[in-house]
Amino acid sequence: MVARITDSLPNVGGIGTGGPTLGTQGTGQNFSDYIKDATAGAVDTLHKGEAMSMRGIAGEADLTDVVAAVNSAETTLQVVTGLRDRMIQAYQEILRMPI
């Protein structure tokens, strides 16, 4: 059975309700840890796609599994590339701001 997309998303119910105040620390994951985890997950997906394609070439894997793994790796690469482009664009916008 296909899982609902909201089951895989982080809980964002508290957005807009105010963040941690001065002197307190939030209980959530900090941004750098989130980026590290997301990057590790993306690299893992790419490695799995590569390993599955090698197993397919060797005749050890089912074609549908190979196609699914390669499609997942391709989608991950497209998302990472898009995020990189948006981050560079945001950085360039910051550089253009007057001080």
Question: Contact at 8 Å (CB) between 69 and 48?
Answer: yes
- Label residue 16 by pLDDT band (50, 70, 90): very low
* pLDDT value of position 31: 85
Task: Name the residue among 84, 31, 76 with its Cα closest to residue 10.
Answer: 31
* pLDDT value of position 27: 63
Neighbours of 51 (CB within 10 A): 13
* 42 vs 6: which has the higher pLDDT: 42
Collect contacts of 16-25 with beta carbons under 8 A, ≥24 apart: none
* 29 vs 30: which has the higher pLDDT: 30
pLDDT tens-digit series, residues 41-98: 999 999 999 999 999 999 999 999 999 999 999 999 999 999 999 999 999 999 999 8
The pTM assigned to this predicted structure is: 0.62
Q: Nearest 10 degrees: CA dihedral of 65, 3, 40, 18?
A: 170
